[in-house]
Amino acid sequence: MQKLPKILEREPLVDAVFEVRLAGPPTLADLLPGFLFHELEPKPTVKRLPAAEIPQPMRVNDPNLQFAPVQRLEWGDFIIAVGDRNFVISCKMPYPKWPKFKSAILDITRRIANVGISGNVERYSVKYVNLIEAATLAEQFSKIKLSITLGDIEVKADHVNLRVHRKEADVVHILSLITGASGKRPDGKEVSGAIVDIDSIRSIKAPDFAAFAAELEPGLEELRQANKEKFFRCLTDAAIEEMGPIYD
């Protein structure tokens, strides 16, 4: 099995997200923002998002809006977005590393458990989006473990938008690759390269939120490690070395 780096000196990460989705009455957007504002220290800043202008019955009945964030709280290194049946915890960049992110996830989830939310927890997920820097398409392909032939076309040094769903036990890993991408680093530097996005989703049937929160830690750690493994297996050894890997 491939040995995974503990940390990277040159982090390619541009987004890190944890999400929980629930069945049952769509009440989270009404309950959580006010509760978290009073619960968290220092006090987060709260912002109403565009989806909040759409009446709740319309959001609930539109598949594209059912999990749209309605309010957003900025709290230290983290952002908490709340929809009708879900909440999302994401990191501000630069990434504060997994131990701090995990601690924030568990802390916020434990606090939310005190609200007395009704409805089953259906799923939770971790998603990491990385920009692998490379100036040309050919160089981007040289850093990704990928072999595609479509008809009589061998795909290389081309623009690619690829998504693969891989089910493993109770987890679905959605691996996405986009070549020819561009973006900004936290320092404002414009960069180009390939986006490698790994979204790992675990389906569960927790009878209530308190039970889910109490048992989250081992499953969360396992899910993050599986996500991390999928990411590094997408990369060539040379690409990993460029990032300055540090091992145990």
For residue 206, CA distances in Å to 61, 126, 140, 149, 224 come to 24, 18, 42, 43, 19
For residue 51, CA distances in Å to 19, 26, 80, 100, 222 come to 18, 14, 15, 30, 33
**Distance in angstroms (rounded) separating the CA atoms of residues 135 and 192:** 6
First to last CA, the chain: 15
Q: Are 21 and 86 in contact (CB under 8 A)?
A: yes
For 61-110, write each residue's pLDDT tens digit.
Answer: 998 999 999 999 999 999 999 999 999 999 999 999 999 999 999 999 99
**Distance in angstroms (rounded) separating the CA atoms of residues 10 and 7:** 9
Residue 115's contacts (CB-CB under 8 Å, 6 or more residues apart) are 31, 32, 35, 209
Outline where the chain has alpha helix (H): 28-39, 56-61, 98-113, 137-143, 209-214, 216-233, 237-242
Positive or negative torsion for Cα 126, 129, 132, 136 = positive
Interhelix angle 98-113/28-39, rounded to 10 degrees, is: 110
Predicted confidence band at 25 (pLDDT cuts at 50, 70, 90)?
Answer: confident
24 DSSP assignment = S
Identify the pLDDT of residue 111.
97
Largest Cα separation within the chain, whole Å, is 61
State yes or no: pLDDT of 185 exceeds 80. no
Helix-, strand-, coil-residue percentages of the chain, each rounded to 5: 30, 40, 30
Identify the pLDDT of residue 135.
92
Percent of the chain with pLDDT over 70: 99
Work out the burial of residue 167: count CB atoms within 10 Å of its CB; fewer than 13 is exposed, 13-18 middle, 19 or more buried. Answer: exposed
For the whole model, what pTM was predicted?
A: 0.95
> Around 89, how many Cα atoms within 13 Å sit in the side-chain half-sphere?
23
Predicted confidence band at 47 (pLDDT cuts at 50, 70, 90)?
Answer: very high
- Secondary structure class of 120 (helix, strand, coil): coil
State yes or no: pLDDT of 1 exceeds 80. no
Identify the pLDDT of residue 248.
84
